[in-house]
Amino acid sequence: MADDDNLTFLKKSHLFKGLSDEEILVVRDYAMPSLRAYDKNDVIVGQGDPVSKIGIICHGTVLSTKYHYNGETQILRIYKQGEVLSLDAVNTTFLTSPVSLISQTGCEILFLSYQKLMQGDKLSPSIKETIIFNNSEILSNELVRLMYKIDVLSKRTLQERVLTYLSIIREKKGKDTFDISMNQEQFAQYLCVNRSVLSKELNQMRKRGLIDYKKNRYTLYEKFMNK
């Protein structure tokens, strides 16, 4: 990937929103981002790995996955093109990843040294201030996503978990039929249940007229509000 392409992806990243083209050029030349390509299901960052760089997704999607001591796997969220990886880890004192980041598809990721962005003497105070502001906004959005997840998992029954999650996605998408970007195995991991249990519940919900679905695409019917 050429430097001009790197510059294009930096411009599209929320982390550098508000910087001029000249300022982003300074960031690129100083931080010297490096591109890495990954095949589907490759581990980008392992849970517990030391982290010093952030990654901007140029192409593809990435799963944030938590592995538990008992062997269970939980999907926390899916990162999409333009989003920033490991921003939470580089802002902690531990500097280790709390999750594994795994390529959901083939993907390309642009890595930058976070220390250079925050502590380097080549970037002006105004550039750093803008990056810090955007950093805070991104992490705040992550907190909101976490609150949504807590809301989903706090529901007593699996049906309530499914309906709560789908209603959140419907509200975000603004339509009743939408793609959740997860297959059924991944959806089960997100909901912290066994796939066969989720499959049975989804079929029952479809028979009751609450939802319809095909692969990753779901339709949520208004009548569930009265259930």
Q: Which residues of 154-170 are buried (b: 16+ CB within 10 A; e: fewer)?
A: eeeebbebbbbbbeebb
User: Both 11 and 81 in a single domain?
Assistant: yes
User: Both 122 and 163 in a single domain?
Assistant: no
User: Both 118 and 10 in a single domain?
Assistant: yes
User: Both 116 and 20 in a single domain?
Assistant: yes
- Kind and range of the H or E run holding 85: strand 84-85
User: Both 125 and 160 in a single domain?
Assistant: no
pTM: 0.87
In this structure, are residues 77 and 191 in contact, taking their beta carbons and an 8 Å threshold? Answer: no
User: Both 16 and 107 in a single domain?
Assistant: yes
User: Both 132 and 201 in a single domain?
Assistant: no
Domain CATH code at residue 169: 1.10.10.10
Find tokens 């209603």 and name the residue: 167
User: Both 125 and 222 in a single domain?
Assistant: no
Boundary residue ending a domain (121, 145, 169): 145
Domain with 27 in it: 3-145
Q: State how many domains the chain has.
A: 2
Please report, in tens digits, the pLDDT of each residue of the chain (227 residues total).
456 788 899 999 999 999 999 999 999 999 989 999 999 999 999 999 999 999 999 999 999 999 988 888 899 999 999 999 999 999 999 999 999 999 999 999 999 999 989 887 889 999 999 999 999 999 999 999 999 999 999 999 999 999 999 999 999 999 999 999 999 999 999 999 999 999 999 999 999 999 999 999 999 997 654 44
Q: What is the dihedral of CA 29, 33, 35, 38, to 10 degrees?
A: -170
User: Both 160 and 123 in a single domain?
Assistant: no
